[in-house]
Amino acid sequence: MTRILIFVKIKPLLLLLLSGLLTISCGNNPEDTLTPEEIYSAPPEVVKEYGFVLDDFTVERDTVQKGDSFGKILFDANVDYATIQEISDSVQPVFDTKRIRVGKPYVLLKAKDTTNAAQVFIYEQNKEDYVVVDFQNQIKAAARKHPTTVYEREISGVINSNLSSTFDDLGVSVNVAYKMADVYAWTIDFFKLQKGDRFKVIYDERFVNDSIPAGIGNIKACLFEHNGREVYAFRFKNDSLPGGVDYYDETGKNLRRAFLKGPLQFNRISSRYNLKRRIKYYGYKIRPHKGTDFAGAIGTPILATADGTVTKSERRGGNGNYVKIRHNGTYETQYLHMQKRNVKVGEFVRQGDIIGTIGMTGNTGGPHVCYRFWKNGKQVDPFKQDLPDSEPLATELMPAFDSIRKPLKMQLDNIPWLSETLDDAAEEAVNEERLQ
């Protein structure tokens, strides 16, 4: 308790010393090195931002408005046209001054003299990256990054409607949901989630200046309970795989399957394989549908559902733009009505590679990809096939995997389920009422 108190008290001064003198190493206990007198006589804190002592300037913070340009902003800040041109030209390799965007924050550091002219222009490209254009003496520009810190976060949640709204309710970036959908792409159909399905996840999140969220890192481990079935996933670097990193269940079984469930990141089936399909347009005559249609907006990436070699990539008749891939002696897959094809015949593609985009070419009423699954030269329903699992981890990798899995599993198991936390809170409230 005392230690924490002291740390909090000492912290601003310690930071100052670290940035200024660097005499105190991190391991040293500040209590031993600083007397109250020293603390008292410390100079006032110097505020440095973007590498400048802000007190030396008049600081103006603003955002790029409609109609603004780099030239206009500087001209309004008392910089003459010739200088602006010279600045623009000389910083070009680092910073294209024409590319400033409406809504982006910028900072002007102006001279504290009668000219009140800008001397430094700082442009925030995104939460992490910024550019400093310094024309105090000679003109120089530098691309820099705000310091970022990575924090590990743990969450648990219960599905009430769909995954992304559940994350919204939790106040957690929906990107975590997308990443989780990726992890489970082969094992859980995220379009068939049930109310009451629940999950726990451990992931990294980056913060700028310790406070502004700047993006989601990797999911380290997660647990999904779908329909009462638990599926653990642990991130593990397997050097024997191209790409290396993959997710495995608690027994070391790869969560990937030999085939993806469908050719889209989020698979929504609009028409199933059906040999007895009747179509109104054809007078309700039987028109077998030997493919599975996955709906998606025009331009949605289409993924190869398994590793293989492209055998067809062309535009032809009712198929429109299509790609066909041979995976092995038994299986081939085919993808129809593409807007764009990204692969050529003879090319080797990996599972999950983007081979094209959803379009409406050929014989189709709306944007979708017709996914055709061939087994021994015949079209079959991929959802009725007993498709092979992918390779489990090699025995010699198991010790390394276990050393990663064990602590993560314990950590996952210790995260309370959201409902438990709610129950506890409710119970506490009841107890408190009783006490009153």
Site of interaction with Zn ion (CB under 5 A): 291, 293, 370
CB of 345 to Zn ion, least distance (A): 22
What amino acid is encoded at 385 in this protein? Q
Q: Which CB, 338 or 370, lies closer to Zn ion?
A: 370
Residues with Cβ within 8 Å of residue 327, at least 6 apart in sequence: 258, 259, 306, 307, 308, 333
Supply 126's token pair.
């995104």
CB of 278 to Zn ion, least distance (A): 15
Residue number closest to Zn ion, CB atom: 370
CB of 340 to Zn ion, least distance (A): 19
Q: Which CB, 349 or 370, lies closer to Zn ion?
A: 370
CB of 289 to Zn ion, least distance (A): 6
Q: Which CB, 177 or 370, lies closer to Zn ion?
A: 370
Please tell me the distance from the alpha carbon of residue 38 to that of residue 54, in angstroms, as a whole number.
Answer: 25
Q: Which CB, 52 or 373, lies closer to Zn ion?
A: 373
CB 358 within 8 A of CB 339: yes
User: Which residue in the block uniquely carries the two structure tokens 């995976």?
Assistant: 327
C-alpha dihedral over 286, 288, 292, 294, to 10 degrees? -40
Of 139, 121, 140, 119, the C-alpha closest to 130 is 121
CB of 259 to Zn ion, least distance (A): 18
Please tell me the distance from the alpha carbon of residue 398 to that of residue 261, in angstroms, as a whole number.
Answer: 27
Of 87, 96, 72, 217, the C-alpha closest to 140 is 87
CB of 167 to Zn ion, least distance (A): 32
Q: Which CB, 215 or 362, lies closer to Zn ion?
A: 362
Beta bridge partners of 165: none
Of 125, 157, 176, the C-alpha closest to 419 is 157
Q: Which CB, 96 or 314, lies closer to Zn ion?
A: 314
CB 260 within 8 A of CB 335: no
